[in-house]
Chains A and B, each alone.
Chain A
């Protein structure tokens, strides 16, 4: 048996620091929103000409009066991702850029993907993304509230916030792009983290009913250990699937799978160290669960 409970304090302090730093990052550094949420244009360009580099592309694009142009490699040597916030509303814009580019870098390229999101749509997408995340947290709160006692709900929700905030904090720290698929990842993280917490809580409650003489501090540790191999195996298989998406699923899914990997790691950690520490802090006892049963 591993004594997880010995480390509740130090890990909680680390978590509080991580969450605080993440919140600071989110407030002062902010998130790097992609075209989905900021509006603008994204072009994925593939060239067969090895002389084309980021700087040649940037040079030819900067002459086109497109505002702030961002060019970066995308996966391999021949693929580039061009992003800019569109200023004019010209329907032919993409065609004009194509023509202008062929004058400077030749004809050995094509646009593999073009995304153009207007300001109205991007603000709507951002709004519905935020609503989706808030709604999912609310629904989880409601679900766990009808399934468990309030002390458990608080523990699970704190664990959820912990996972979501730290994942977003890491995205802010490394300037990783937030787009629609990251919102999907965050929602899935919410589901996964909850799932992990609920399985341990189920066991805690079962043990609370079984043993009246064991203190919650010990009891959470017993429950964590009893469910530990499941926690590890499920995290490992989920991570195996996610790492496989990250490595082989193509560039477009990289951000999504990275967010999910972070979420699963933090989700597993938080169901052990945050959720259970809350139960200990709130001095949950056999009375807590028996009272509910009598109702």
Chain B
């Protein structure tokens, strides 16, 4: 175990120097193109905001059920099939079909070219599962139907979230899918997520609808309250324009009234519809409804055919800017709820880094002093190994641009404490061996060999714990498991290559000395 070939010595030295260089690049700027990677700091160290959003898919499911019910009604009417009791109960569609028609109707829903119940070949499943009980047909979202709806609403929502976050212009936001109904937003450097939270909390569903006096309108009408909560008005359900027709929206100052407004431009379809509605509706009140609340309801004085218009409604410049931003980035397919928020201010992050570094330095110092007093020259070897081990650990984290968190720093400090274990196991074993074996080279050799199983066992147990943490843990805790796990590999490398090399150099030079260790 003590013999090292020249090639191996060179290889070990090169690897060591390389990692010392890579690790140092975190602290010293080397101004070169050769290597410019750095360890990422987690949000808990650099400060920032972590938001976990959950999409509330219920409105989408209900809408889907309503559309499907209408489709079924028209489809069956077209095919001259008599049905009754078509209704939605608890996210199920029920209807009754005479026995004579049952086979035929069943096929409408179960054939793979079904026009009313889409088939997903990749899942080998329809959107709805059909169960027939006597004359009663029941449609229920299939497992994959639900997945399909969730995934597509998640895809749309993440796009809108990304647009909104980008519009605010925070630096390097991280927006990721989580499961099939959650979105994770990480905003480094943002210490007050207030504005982003309020922007993400709005669906931004914009509609232009006439105010009506008649509650028995053809399209139906509903009572909506004004944004400031002052009054209610009866608003027709007929949608003149919606947010989808908007090309652009900007906050502006109205020169005449000195009021902040949001001006908007419409696409071609929108301009045409808006022109028609304003021409026929002069004198009527047009309500501008955002997420079920009336922002304002101006009276139409002239026909607007230019394809642009403006929204007023007691805006401050900030709220007008936000509304314009929301309208530009589009409506979310479903409401989002912030189910987890973690925000760390940059000064606390810096404090944590400082505390972590101080704890690391003191922990390291205590360990190397202890080891030196315990083993003298071999303590020195263990300490040099420990230092190189630290460089290797930080170097690997840098190489993979891993994210360092506060628990991650704790993992590094813990590694410092536990890394000497392998060397201690070896040294203690050598001490035992040298009681019966006077030849230093032989006792060192067998010390290394005999301690091997214990070292491997001991490290595998810690590695297993780290692996489970990595799989199950989230965020900062994952950072801990990474440093702990990587630390085990660097420890084994440094003990078996660096410490052993140094030991062999020393032992071969002093092979005739008594009580060498």
A218-256 interface with B by 8 A CB criterion:
226-227, 229-230, 233-234, 236-245, 247-250, 252-253, 256
- Chain A residues in 8 Å Cβ range of B484: 188
Contact, CB under 8 Å: B407 / A245? no
Could you name 21 residue pairs across A and B whose Cβ atoms are closer than 8 Å?
A114-B343, A116-B340, A117-B341, A118-B337, A121-B340, A136-B468, A140-B464, A140-B465, A181-B480, A184-B407, A184-B481, A190-B465, A191-B466, A198-B454, A199-B454, A230-B428, A234-B418, A241-B363, A241-B413, A242-B413, A260-B414
Within 8 A of A (CB), among B346-401: 347-348, 351-352, 355-356, 358-360, 362-363, 366-367, 370-371, 374
What is the bound-complex CA distance between A118 and B48, given in angstroms? 19
Q: Is A128 in contact with chain B by the CB < 8 A criterion? A: yes
A89 proximity list for chain B (CB < 8 A)? 337
B499 contacts the other chain (CB 8 A): no
A residues adjacent to B (C-beta < 8 A) = 44, 89, 91-92, 94-95, 110-118, 120-121, 125, 128-129, 131-132, 135-136, 139-140, 143, 147, 180-181, 183-184, 187-188, 190-192, 194-196, 198-199, 202-203, 226-227, 229-230, 233-234, 236-245, 247-250, 252-253, 256-257, 260
The answer for the CA separation of A116 and B342 in the assembled complex, in Å, is: 6
> Any chain A CB within 8 A of the CB of B416?
yes
Cβ A112 vs Cβ B428 within 8 A: no
Q: Which of A187, A192, A202 contacts B454 (CB 8 A)?
A: A202
Asked whether any CB of chain A lies closer than 8 Å to the CB of B339, the reply is yes
Binding site for A on B (CB under 8 A): 44, 52, 54, 194, 197-198, 201, 337-345, 347-348, 351-352, 355-356, 358-360, 362-363, 366-367, 370-371, 374, 406-407, 409-410, 413-414, 416-418, 420-421, 424-425, 428, 432, 453-454, 457-466, 468-469, 472-474, 476-477, 480-481, 484
**Interface residue from B348, B371, B466 paired with A44 (Cβ < 8 Å):** B348
Give Cα distance in the complex from A112 to B192, angstroms. Answer: 10
Cα distance A238–B424 in the bound complex, in angstroms: 12
Contact call B342/A115, Cβ cutoff below 8 A: yes
Contacts of B466 in A (CB 8 A): 188, 191
Q: Contact check, B465 vs A91: say whether CB atoms are below 8 A apart.
A: no
4 nearest CB pairs, A to B: A241-B417, A191-B465, A244-B363, A250-B355
A249 touching B342 by the CB < 8 A rule? Answer: no
Known: A239-B417, A241-B367. A195 touches B352 (CB 8 A): no
Contact B406 A252 (CB under 8 A): yes
Q: Which residues of A contact B457 (CB under 8 A)?
A: 147, 195, 198-199, 202
Known contacts A89-B337, A136-B468: does B345 contact A233 (CB below 8 Å)? no
Most chain A beta-carbon neighbours within 10 Å: one of B201, B338, B466, B473: B473
Q: Contact check: which of A118, A128, A191, A198 meets B472 at CB < 8 Å?
A: A128
Describe A's contact surface by its main secondary structure: helix
Question: Is A240 in contact with B367, judged by CB distance below 8 angstroms?
Answer: yes
Q: Give the docked Cα–Cα distance between A129 and B351 (Å).
A: 28
List, in ascending order, chain A residues with CB within 8 A of B344's CB: 112-113
Q: Once bound together, how far apart are the Cα atoms of A234 and B424, in whole Å?
A: 7
Residues of A within 8 A of B417 (CB): 237-242
Among candidates B339, B410, B420, B424, residue contacting A249 with C-beta atoms closer than 8 Å:
B410
B460 x A143 contact (CB < 8 A)? yes
Distance (Å) between the CB of B417 and the closest chain A CB?
A: 3
Residues on B with C-beta less than 8 A from A194 are 461, 465
Min CB distance A254 to B, Å, is 11
Which B residues touch A243, using CB under 8 A? 366
- Whether B462 contacts A195 by the Cβ 8 Å rule is yes
Contact B458 A195 (CB under 8 A): yes
Q: Which partner residue on chain B sits nearest A194 by CB separation?
A: B461
B365 CB, nearest partner CB in chain A, Å: 9
Once the chains are docked, how many angstroms separate the CA of A236 from the CA of B421? 10
A160 to B481, CA, bound (A): 20
Q: Which of B348, B414, B428 contacts A241 (CB 8 A)?
A: B414
